[in-house]
Amino acid sequence: EGVGPQEYTGIKIKILKWAPEAEKYVAGNSELEGKNIFLVAATLRPETMYGQTNCYVGTKIDYIFHQVNETDVFVTTHRAARNMAFQDLSVVPGEVKSLGTIKGSDIVGSLIKAPLSVYEQGIYVLPMENVLANKGTGVVTSVPSDSPDDYATLGDLQKKPDYYGINPEWVKDYKPVPIISTPKYGDLTAKALCEKMKIQSQKDRDQLALAKEEAYKEGFYHGTMIIGDYKGKPVEEAKPLIRDSLIASGDAVAYSE
């Protein structure tokens, strides 16, 4: 990756209904009582948030409940919580106030509400094999229209729910949403690229790395928004405006590392 700091947008995703293991844990933890708990996903493409169909966590990753102010608790990796503590995101400046920990596998299946997503009734937390514990927050919001990794992974889960240990109900009604149009790949850039490059699965790492690069370049430099408040605007222009508006409404935070 590049040399300079990476400027992420931390998307605050609300929990509508915890998966059973998480529910048991949260209900039994008095420190979490009455707090607003968010899964926080780190993204470089805030303008794509309209197309969120689910959210990914790593099943083997440990996440912490990090108290960021009097009322709010962020679920991220411990590493991200530590970085956030030095970016004004901690109830105790410079320190992580942990209210507990949970394994990614216990969060899978939770019903959540992601800001701007057209799926307003809620989306699910699902497993992804390639979530890195040492990047971003360890929580990846999924936009299969514009991210080849997200598209390939959602396809895997839809084709083989048993193999991935998920309930087919969590994926069956969700499909990529046309949100950005690009001259080369139309209005579902990631789908077009995965098909063109014959990417079958999230396990096709090398091809996915190439597709990701191409999708990012094409979307950022040549994409046009076809949904939302900035419909008709180039992605390059809409991106900072959507980021600022998500932060202003309290639905996101700036996070860099």
Give the orientation angle of helix 148-159 with respect to helix 189-196, to 10 degrees. 70
Our measurement of the distance from residue 69's CA atom to the centroid of its chain's CA atoms, rounded to an integer in Å, reads: 22
Q: Is 138 a residue that touches ligand A2H (CB under 6 A)? A: yes
Phi/psi for 195 (5° steps) reads: -70, -45
Residues 21-40, mask of contacts with ligand A2H (x by CB under 6 A): --------------------
Residue in this structure with the two tokens 């690069």, named with its chain if needed: 213
For residue 91, give both structure tokens.
């109830």
How far apart CA 211 and CA 225 sit, in angstroms, is 20
For residue 89, give both structure tokens.
């995101």
Closer residue to ligand A2H (CB): 85 or 154? 154
Q: Is 146 a residue that touches ligand A2H (CB under 6 A)? A: yes
Residues 46-85 that bind ligand A2H (CB under 6 A): 48
CB contact at 8 A, 5 and 87: no
Least distance CB 169 / ligand A2H (angstroms):
22
Closer residue to ligand A2H (CB): 27 or 132? 132
Our measurement of the distance from residue 29's CA atom to the centroid of its chain's CA atoms, rounded to an integer in Å, reads: 26
Closer residue to ligand A2H (CB): 146 or 251? 146
Least distance CB 130 / ligand A2H (angstroms):
6
Contact positions vs ligand A2H (CB under 6 A): 1, 6, 42-45, 48, 130-132, 135-136, 138, 140-143, 146-147, 150, 212, 216
